[in-house]
Amino acid sequence: MFRNLAPPKCHFHLLHLVNPFYSMVPSALVHENRIKEALGSTDLISEYSNMYSKICYAILFFYASESFVWQQDRSGSSNVCTTPECVSAAARLLQNIDPKVEPCENFYKYACGGWLEHHVIPETSSRHSVFDILRDKLEIVLKGVLEAKSDQDRDAFKKAKTLYNSCMNETLIEQRDSQPLMQLIDSIGDWPVASEDWNSTAEEAWSLEDTLATLTSQYHKKVLLDMYVWTDDRDSKSHIIYIDQPGLGMPSRDYYFNDGNYKKVREAYLQFMVSIAKIARKDRNLTQDDDRVMEEMVQVLELETDIANATSPAEERHDVTVLYNKMTLTELQESFNFNGFNWTRFVTGVLSSVAVEVKPEEDVVVYSAPYLEKMNNVLAKHTIRTMQNYLTWHTVMERVSSLSRRFRDTRAHYRKALYGTTVEDARWRDCVRYVQSSMENAVGALYVRETFAGESKRMVGDLISKIQEAYVETLEELSWMDDQSKQKAREKALAIKEHIGYPDHILEDNNVKLDEEYAYLNFSEDYYFENILENLQADAQKILKKLREPVDPDMWIIGAAVVNAFYSPNRNQIVFPAGILQPPFFSKHQLQALNFGGIGMVIGHEITHGFDDNGRNFDKDGNMLNWWSNYSAEHFKDQSQCMVQQYGRFTWKLAGGQNVSGINTLGENIADNGGVRQAYKAYMKWLEREGEELRLPGLDMDHKQLFFLNFAQVWCGAYRPEYASHSIKTDSHSPLEYRVLGSLQNFGAFSEAFQCKPGTPMNPDMKCRVW
């Protein structure tokens, strides 16, 4: 979700975001999925779905009204809420249900069966869910504010709109065609496969250290090595250099070795590589040597496969205390001198771009010791020519989406193999996403001004306090944790800092901080490609400069126009952007059963991340510090292992019958289980204080059942098989269905609310609980 403002390890979010192929600034928080395109024609399926929804809601409104009259006559007094918001909520809940399914058999299918029947995955999407629909609606709002013209716009807004307009200027992008790409290739040392000038002389002058330094500092491109600056895990007030293993061209290492759909993706990836190289040769007026191109790109894929094999799989990267290895630059050189690589030259080259000097005693944190140990053998196997081809390919690949149509068309086969999508999004959606991800605060301000009710901040803050209190009370129920560790957990929970909605300064007209954030950017509506490069360089340098700056404890880790939520262990901070503070998660007008089951569960989920298998390693101040007794630590592992095994037994047919990885999803599963438990406890206490709520019209459900129903329906969604195969290897969250089933199977209060008999699928004898 971010523009690499942090390493992926540093933040935990509520839902994995899919944005196939629109690679903008490097980002751990990229977004997506869509409904019908609001600019142009609507396909038949979308049109049918919209018509069906309108008819269904009209019928439900009538039914709800009749039901209200009947209940009022029967009881003599109204116990049913008939406000428009309640009727709308009842209609939504009813429409999503499949009444043919028994709740105690499969609550997800009961709660979401109707939703799945009424929704078809758009051709542009790899996954379609409640989250994705909310994002689609948010993007329509952003489109409106970015296209609105105003003479009163402040500088930040003007720059965001200029960037958006440059992205939308397809006519000029087509006219410029490959020109900006060729200039980029020249600036990073050429592309041997598409050059007749690359020879032995060029190889002699070539330096891996200098090339990687240029890519890191000027283009924010992390290839072969990932060097970044972030908060020191062991000192949350300071920044430090991190060295980690890089990302790969394909989503995970599994695509390089596995058969089945993964092999199909691998073959499509090679075809994509070859197609772009051929275009580059043609546009440079070189002879079309297809055999040579294929041979060289196969060599690139072999190098990338060796790199993938050297990386550690996700299952081996869960213990941050093991990953963290602090050493000096001198010690780094002595420990990992692969193929004569000069670490000082590389690090100095990167940081010289922001005029930061480093000395041999500069501290660095190595997060990827096993990878670095293997790199000597990897690099020794491959020629300089192949390495430069590889580095340039990775840089070019990320820019294809910014070029003319003939470049973008080359990825269609790869996109279909990887995500199952056959149609690209409307151009405006791509442009909205790019501007939102690269100018989060500017776009966030435009969004909040347009849609967000200020009162929501206070109400959500009150919910956070109630759920923090519930978490603290829950500690007393845990027999596996001793008093010493409970006290430390209590202190950490109460010290969690919250960010709700948006940072205040982005709405303050007299506060220059927002404009200053983008003062270094000078966009042109005529040069979209160059605007992107300027953004990449600015982002890279913004991060690198932090090395000599103190940590800002109040910095927002994400923008306001985002449908997600986050926890940062380095800051012990939870964030709930304005984008998620809407129905079905939250509304000041809907029943508290729905608010606690929606945003309440989200709040509990993020709080629990502070105590999952990774967050538990950090103290209340965000420092990696062992505050656990040996007794509690061992029992935490035992309790967690129960969940590893439980979720590892879920078999996902859509992903070719693969089982969910209980190890990779452990942190999110702990958070899901803790979140729903804490939110429910907080809601029960609210009922004790405020009294029982009115019922919803047309729904024969009490307030406890409504809590669980809204919780489940937040996760309604469908995947394409190709994306399921991708998600099961790359997503730290369990598939949507199993997030619901796993959490509720472990929670006795759910079985009580729906009267599920012991031994039924939703009330198994064996239950897991961490928090």
List, by residue number, the catalytic residues: 606, 672
| Helix residue ranges per DSSP H, 148-289 | 155-168, 170-176, 179-187, 200-205, 208-219, 254-257, 261-283
The helix/strand count (H/E) of the chain reads as 33, 12
SS3 573: strand
SS3 letters for 509-529? CCCCHHHHHCCCCCCCCCCHH
- Non-local (6+) Cβ contacts of 723 within 8 A are 18, 126, 127, 419, 420
Whole-angstrom distance, CA of residue 416 vs CA of residue 100: 35
Whole-angstrom distance, CA of residue 724 vs CA of residue 544: 36
What's the burial of 423, exposed, middle or buried (CB within 10 Å: 0-12/13-18/19+)?
A: middle
Whole-angstrom distance, CA of residue 48 vs CA of residue 122: 12
Q: What angle do CA 650, 655, 660 make, to 5 degrees?
A: 30
SS3 275: helix
Would the CA dihedral through 364, 366, 371, 373 be positive or negative?
positive
Whole-angstrom distance, CA of residue 508 vs CA of residue 502: 12
Cβ pair 560, 501 in contact under 8 A: yes
Cβ pair 497, 574 in contact under 8 A: yes
Q: Amino acid identity, residue 211?
A: T
**b or e along 40-56 (b: 16 or more beta carbons within 10 Å of the residue's beta carbon)?**
eeeeeebeebeeeeeee
